[in-house]
Amino acid sequence: MKKENIRNIAIIAHVDHGKTTLIDAMLKQSGTFRDNEDVNERVMDSNDLERERGITILAKNTSVYYDDIKINIVDTPGHADFGGEVERSLSLVNGVILLADAFEGCMPQTRFVLKKALEQNLPVIIVINKVDRENSTPEKIADDVLELFIDLEADESYLDSKILFASAKQGWASETPQRQAEGMGVLFKAIKDEIPCPVGDEEGDFQFLVSNIEYDEYTGRLAIGKIERGSVSTNESVTIARKEGEISKGKISQLYTYEGLNKVPCKSASAGEIICIAGIADINIGETIGSAEGVEAMPFVEIDKPVLSMNFSVNTSPLAGMDGKYVTSRHLRNRLFRELLSNISLEVKPTDSADTFKVSGRGELHLSILIENMRREGYEFMVSKPTVITKVIDGVKCEPFERLVIDVHDDHTGTVIESCANRKGELLNMNKSSDSYTRLEFMIPSRGLIGYRSELMTATKGTAVINSNFEKYMPYKGDFEGRSRGSLIASEPGESITYGLYNAQERGSLFIGPNTTVYEGMVVGENARPDDMTVNVCKRKQVTNMRASGSDETLRLTPHRQLSLEQYLEFINDDELLEVTPNHLRVRKEYLNKQDRIKAENRKKQQGK
């Protein structure tokens, strides 16, 4: 049976191509908000980190009405590291809107999300966004999207997909690049005409696949998904098919549907509708809820596996426990395993040490968002340098490769090509992206990108735009040199002094300023040379009849570098750890004592013989 009054769609695109802004316009023009209501921009980005960084991290649901048709919309992340959110969101919908920037065009994540939609045979509406942007080429980008369909070996029917042009920021859509009408009416009509309504047997046994999990402090865990078959009511008894094959019983305490940005309680719902179910305390993503008489487990969409891992461990530095609220291995373990309940692209495994856990994710950003969330919640811990996950395929050692796209000024193309070649990258394409910019496309090992962004920004004077997306596993490319500069390491504990910092800054660039608490083995800067060097940043000027202690004020310090979490993760070396607390980020050596570091280095050399 068809539900003619419902359309379920997902909006997919590369990062920063305007998905959330487009939904803003659709919500405002569908009467979701009152005329006098004060509404934030990017209203769907409700998470603090999403607002700060201007990216979508978590897939979210909303709905609008058009001609008595309810359009359920899923806003998906654009960054490759959150591809798991995209993949499970596609199981909820019957079609997608593919957004492409009229200036940037098809980027690595555009290719990734479109490939996932094609694998599920979902109809596609193409929207070329930001046509009001200076130097945009909307018609060319539309052709590029069609070429991408061909490149991905899509069925020929996809070449007839509806193509629209829009400015989400100005709130209009049209069938031509020129603005022909006010508002998003053309887009709403395309959704009604091009996206099929959901089909399901309302008379059959209830069947519901859990695609997402939310938590409410009053009702507990909420299971989000689409009813595939049958209908359900509040206070109804149900059966749950667990991932491990176990069967359990439960009872639904409350049902919710999406109305605009709100979850609205309802008494019942039927096939084709996207709903939230409350009352099953231990429900997890990928499990199937069925009728009380029995349940038929549904296959869950296969999620791409992690490609990057790092160790999370209890903080053992001399300053441990001074900032954090949760500092023990039990706290760390509980928090990491709780993350698995909603973050399905993540893997957490115990190690030989009870204080250390191996955490694997889809990329540096995926893991850094977890780290940032934990530190904001009051956790204190240490993390190691990210490493790629290798596999043995047909007896050959293989590693993950990424499709890397860099838009760079023509003056720096040679530098970029050389630096990527040094990291085992292979140049695939080289095209002019504008009058003075060139787009370079590489196939490069994922480990070659660790620490590369900061190096690239320095080499191109901050003008390069870099994007990458996991492509596939390929034979291991061999070793290459990592970080080209060593660390400046504090030789003794205390507080940093201007005089000591002044002497240390001659050796390289500093990460700290005066009056900072340091400890032996803490990394306080980057050496200008390849080797590590110990420096005494707590050193005071000797006070004699000829020298006054107050003359330190005449010394001028170069402003120290303030690195972000991602920059620290890129900076740390194999023998270093990043100490993470609610208020501080500190790099330290694994072995704090200099003699211990020398012994560890000698053992490593002996083992390498």
- 74/64 Cα distance (integer angstroms): 11
- Whether residue 17 is annotated as binding a ligand: the answer is yes
- Whether residue 19 is annotated as binding a ligand: the answer is yes
- Whether residue 129 is annotated as binding a ligand: the answer is yes
The length of the chain is 609
- Whether residue 20 is annotated as binding a ligand: the answer is yes
Going by C-alpha positions, the residue among 515, 427, 439, 406 that lies closest to residue 140 is 439
Going by C-alpha positions, the residue among 577, 575, 580 that lies closest to residue 597 is 575
- Number of other residues whose CB lies within 10 A of the CB of residue 89: 26
- Whether residue 60 is annotated as binding a ligand: the answer is no
- Whether residue 16 is annotated as binding a ligand: the answer is yes
- Whether residue 216 is annotated as binding a ligand: the answer is no
Q: Return the H-helix or E-strand segment holding 500.
A: helix 498-504
- Whether residue 144 is annotated as binding a ligand: the answer is no
Phi-psi bin for 16: left (phi > 0), alpha (psi -120 to 50), beta? left
Provide the sign of the torsion angle of the four alpha carbons 166, 182, 123, 256, taken in this order.
positive
Q: Which two tokens stand for residue 134?
A: 């200076």
For residues 354 and 307, the answer to whether their CB atoms sit within 8 Å is no
**254-259 and 274-278: which strand pairing?**
antiparallel
- Whether residue 432 is annotated as binding a ligand: the answer is no
Q: DSSP label at 590?
A: S
Residue 268, classed as helix, strand or coil, is strand
- Whether residue 305 is annotated as binding a ligand: the answer is no
- Number of other residues whose CB lies within 10 A of the CB of residue 205: 16
- 410/416 Cα distance (integer angstroms): 10
Q: Which two tokens stand for residue 579?
A: 């100490």
Residues in binding site for GTP: 16-21, 129-132
Residues in binding site: 16-21, 129-132
